[in-house]
Chains A and B, each alone.
Chain A
Amino acid sequence: MRIAIYLILLIIGAVLPHFVYPVLLMKILCFAIFACAFNLLLGFSGLLSFGHAAFFGGAAYVSGYLIKNLELPTEVAIIGGVLSAALMGWLVGILAIRRQGIYFAMVTLALAQMVYFICLEAPITGGEDGMQGIPRGSFLGLSLKDDLTLYYVIFTGFILAFLIIYRTIHSPFGQVLKAIRENESRAISLGYDVPKYKLLAFVISAAFAGFAGILKMLVFNFATLTDVHWHMSGDVVLMTIFGGIGTILGPVVGSSIIITLEDQLTDSAGDMVTVIMGVIFVVCVLIFRKGIVGESVALYQRMLGRKNLPQVK
């Protein structure tokens, strides 16, 4: 059943750019990676970061700088950007993980705002205009100028990120994360150095958030302040909750629907988009607590009368 779903999704992902505008699809994939990375933290470690835009946008700036100013190959720029995101994640993580709940969120938000101001003020980031005109170059010999080629590169990147995050969730490390999410004091009393596990989860999550931001930069050829703005941190929270916190596919579904909606509505509804997103958020929190995927899984299990089985395999 599970394998069938993944196979169908894989096929859809492979043929869809022939029917739908590839740039929109690429944007969806980037945000799907971002939300999956975020979900690793919120859904599987119980940590609500409100500063993930810093890694998403920060890595985009770093990679953009490596490509545009230092004229390094795309491969190097991607690796450099991901490493910078991981490093930022490590720094923010060290300062934040000893705080609980809302204080954790506040520390991540405050540090992300610092990254925002650096991006606004630093001489190399282009200030309010952002870093524009980052050339697409080539990747492993493939020219990225063509949207369709870029799509398949990014699709591959998405699959890779998804698989690594999936494995992380279903690893011995992932088991410990879930235990910490479920009952932190009990995990400590069983001898786990909880801060170390949280820190590693934070670094992995930040690295993939950065990866998502870099890919988005490659698609649009720019890195802007929007990517590091706290709105972006809020958007990823919304996508994850909407799709289903702590589910495997939830973040992918959530980001697909929200990006598509945004895309459709900006032309017709203009500024109303923000309001509509707000309404979706409220409805989710009040009625569909488990998100689309979470509720569907629950419904499916109820139909089978197997609700006793653990949800996460």
Chain B
Amino acid sequence: MGILCLGVTMIKTNDYILTTQNLSKSFKGFVAVNNVNLKILRGNIHALIGPNGAGKTTCFNLLTKFLDPSEGSIYFNNTDITKQKPAEIARRGIVRSFQISAVFPHLSVLENVRIALQSKQKTNFYFWRSEKTLKELNQKALELLHLVELETYHNQLAIELPYGRKRALEIATTLALEPELMLLDEPTQGMGHEDVDHVMKLIKSVSTGRTILMVEHNMKVVSGISDCITVLSRGSVLAEGDYQSISSNPEVMSAYMGTQATESK
């Protein structure tokens, strides 16, 4: 431990977009996240890995305040955000995706993205206004769909998309908010090889100008695009560093072995 993660393109090495101090969460005595000190460098793609049940999703829930930490604090751009509500966190620029696919199933593909674009509008409580006023957002929504190659499906209901495309739609929806920090929970889970490659490239390409923290089991993705890796095991940070130091770390190996290897995913 103690190895610094240097962003390849970074000039300053201590420009952290997100840090946590002694972040902990226990569920009725069971400690799911234990004293975690994260430091996410601005501009990095930072991977959070660990065996099943390590506390990765719980970490995400804490960072986005879907859960209240039992202890510790969270700083975003040096501001303490520990006490804020999830919607406030999102408006500040931290937008998350979910481990299980999270689209709006009975809205059209276009509407899925547009609802994200709409969240910055001031007209959201105007129940007397026609929804036709939202049409001005369609162009932008289609551009985002183009980015994830879903343009041709814009009229379909999201529920009718195959799994891989649903995940791509989620990324487009998340991107619509132009988040400074994107949290992706297993973006390639359950995808075929081609889709994985595609999403990996997509993540790489949207990472310019923003920071990405992702939970990922697929080691090909982790080694391919992440600048820095944090390994969680039983709620605590086990190791941190670049792919090489992590992959040769015997503690990490045994942690994965101990619970069963999940790399095969």
Cβ of A270 within 8 Å of any chain B Cβ, yes or no, is no
Cβ of B37 within 8 Å of any chain A Cβ, yes or no, is no
B125 A200 Cβ-Cβ under 8 A: yes
Name the B residues within 8 Å of A172 (CB-CB): 118, 121, 123-124, 126, 129, 131, 133-134
Assuming the contacts A175-B134, A178-B107, asked whether A189 and B64 have C-beta atoms less than 8 A apart, the reply is yes
Stretch at the interface among A59-67, A70-78, A87-95, A180-188: A180-188
Smallest distance from the beta carbon of B21 to chain A beta carbons, Å?
A: 24
Name the A residues within 8 Å of B229 (CB-CB): none
Determine the distance from Cα of A237 to Cα of B77 in the docked complex, in whole angstroms. 49
Name the B residues within 8 Å of A145 (CB-CB): none
Cβ of A191 within 8 Å of any chain B Cβ, yes or no, is yes
B119 A186 Cβ-Cβ under 8 A: no
Determine the distance from Cα of A200 to Cα of B126 in the docked complex, in whole angstroms. 10
Name the A residues within 8 Å of B130 (CB-CB): 167, 170-171
Name the A residues within 8 Å of B87 (CB-CB): 188, 191-194
B104 A186 Cβ-Cβ under 8 A: yes
Contacts of A173-221 to chain B: CB distance below 8 A: 173-176, 178-179, 182-183, 185-194, 196-197, 200, 204
Name the A residues within 8 Å of B131 (CB-CB): 170-172, 174-175
Name the A residues within 8 Å of B102 (CB-CB): 183, 185-186, 189
B173 A190 Cβ-Cβ under 8 A: yes
Contacts of B101-138 to chain A: CB distance below 8 A: 102-108, 111, 114-116, 118-121, 123-131, 133-134
A171 B96 Cβ-Cβ under 8 A: no
Query: Which of B64, B124, B157 sits near A308, CB closer than 8 Å?
Result: B157
- Please tell me the size bucket of the interface on B: 35 or more
Determine the distance from Cα of A182 to Cα of B105 in the docked complex, in whole angstroms. 6
B119 A168 Cβ-Cβ under 8 A: no
Which residue numbers of B lie inside 8 Å of A, CB to CB? 64, 66, 85-87, 90-91, 95-98, 102-108, 111, 114-116, 118-121, 123-131, 133-134, 155-157, 160, 173, 177
Smallest distance from the beta carbon of A192 to chain B beta carbons, Å?
A: 6
A179 B126 Cβ-Cβ under 8 A: no
Which residue numbers of A lie inside 8 Å of B, CB to CB? 164, 167-168, 170-176, 178-179, 182-183, 185-194, 196-197, 200, 204, 308-312
Name the A residues within 8 Å of B111 (CB-CB): 175, 310
Most interface-central of A171, A178, A191 (chain B CB within 10 A): A191
B103 A185 Cβ-Cβ under 8 A: no
How would you classify the secondary structure of chain B's contact residues: helix, strand, loop or mixed? loop
Q: Apart from A170-B131, A173-B125, A191-B90, what are 19 other A-B pairs with CB-CB below 8 Å?
A: A170-B130, A171-B129, A173-B129, A174-B127, A175-B111, A175-B131, A178-B106, A182-B104, A185-B102, A186-B104, A188-B66, A189-B64, A190-B90, A191-B120, A192-B119, A308-B156, A309-B155, A310-B107, A310-B108
Name the A residues within 8 Å of B120 (CB-CB): 191
Question: In this complex, what residue of A is CB-closest to B97?
Answer: A189
Determine the distance from Cα of A168 to Cα of B126 in the docked complex, in whole angstroms. 8
Q: Please give me the 8 A-B residue pairs with the lowest Cβ-Cβ distance, nearest first.
A: A191-B90, A182-B104, A173-B127, A168-B127, A191-B91, A186-B102, A191-B119, A179-B115
B128 A183 Cβ-Cβ under 8 A: no
A188 B86 Cβ-Cβ under 8 A: yes
Name the B residues within 8 Å of A175 (CB-CB): 111, 114-115, 118, 131, 134
15 contacts between A and B (CB under 8 A): A167-B127, A167-B128, A168-B127, A175-B115, A176-B115, A178-B104, A178-B106, A179-B107, A186-B102, A189-B66, A189-B102, A190-B95, A191-B87, A192-B87, A193-B87
Determine the distance from Cα of A192 to Cα of B90 in the docked complex, in whole angstroms. 8
Determine the distance from Cα of A312 to Cα of B157 in the docked complex, in whole angstroms. 11
Question: In this complex, what residue of B is CB-closest to A182?
Answer: B104
